[in-house]
Amino acid sequence: MTNWSYTLYRSFWNALDLLFPPSCGGCGKIGSRWCVDCQKHVQVLNGTLCEICGLPLDKPGICDTCRADRPHFRALRAWAVFDNPVQTALHKLKYRRDISLGDSLASQMFPYVKELNWPIDMIVPIPLGKKRRRERGYNQVGMIARPLAMALDVKYAPNELIRSKETLSQVGLTKAERKLNVQEAFQAGVGVKDKTVLVMDDVSTTGSTLSSSAKALYLSGAKDVYALTVARALPHHGLKNA
């Protein structure tokens, strides 16, 4: 069955492309928001992964970190490794107001997310703090989560999760500092009660933000919580584990 809302949404962006020829979010090539070459160079994060946090493993099972300190979400998956061209595209979407990339990334992520076959009822993006929202004017995660929800034909519910306190940027923090920084940082709405929720962020490193948000969703009565990010920063990207 055709999802007309998603078809119309994509048609809107395609029409803008005709009026204002775009450049690729990954390499800057003129003529496409997300060119064929960059699509081919995405390092999709698949293979043998931790059943819970989605980090690559040598053999099937649960990683030592999740065994020692299990996150609150049922499972976390990331579409791609946090390297170029995805890293460049997310930077443009987040800091250079290239909001059309939300549609481009969502459309390429769709088959991957569909294949997960998670029984979700709604997608909830990780919210920005009030200060960052005022500065940026939009939630970059929402620009991807909204069309993805349309494509999956599930509810997009950006107001079902808020930040109950302002937090520091997670960039540069150790794993322990990240967890403490987002502890009790979220509050969920009553609309998640008895629903299976997919909470979404742009990049995951330790999963602390997603775990904290999942806890808030469960406290508001969510039936189950899965987590998804566009990209995953792996240990070789320089995370300080102390």
28 inside domain: yes
242 inside domain: no
34 inside domain: yes
161 inside domain: yes
| Parts of the chain with a pLDDT under 70 | 1-2, 167-176, 178-181, 236-242
194 inside domain: yes
pTM of the predicted protein model: 0.91
231 inside domain: yes
pLDDT at 240: 42
pLDDT at 124: 98
Number of domains, the chain: 1
pLDDT at 99: 94
Can you give the residue range of the structural domain that contains 207? Answer: 4-237
212 inside domain: yes
* SS3 per-residue string spanning the chain: CCCHHHHHHHHHHHHHHHHCCCECCCCCCECCCCCHHHHHHCCECCCCEECCCCCECCCCECCHHHHHCCCCCCEEEEEEECCCCHHHHHHHHHHCCCCCHHHHHHHHHHHHHHHHCCCCCEEEECCCCHHHHHHHCCCHHHHHHHHHHHHHCCEECHHHEEECCCCCCCCCCCHHHHHHHCCCCEEECHHHCCCEEEEEEEEECCCHHHHHHHHHHHHCCCCEEEEEEEEECCHHHCCCCC
CATH number of residue 63's parent domain:
3.40.50.2020
pLDDT at 239: 47
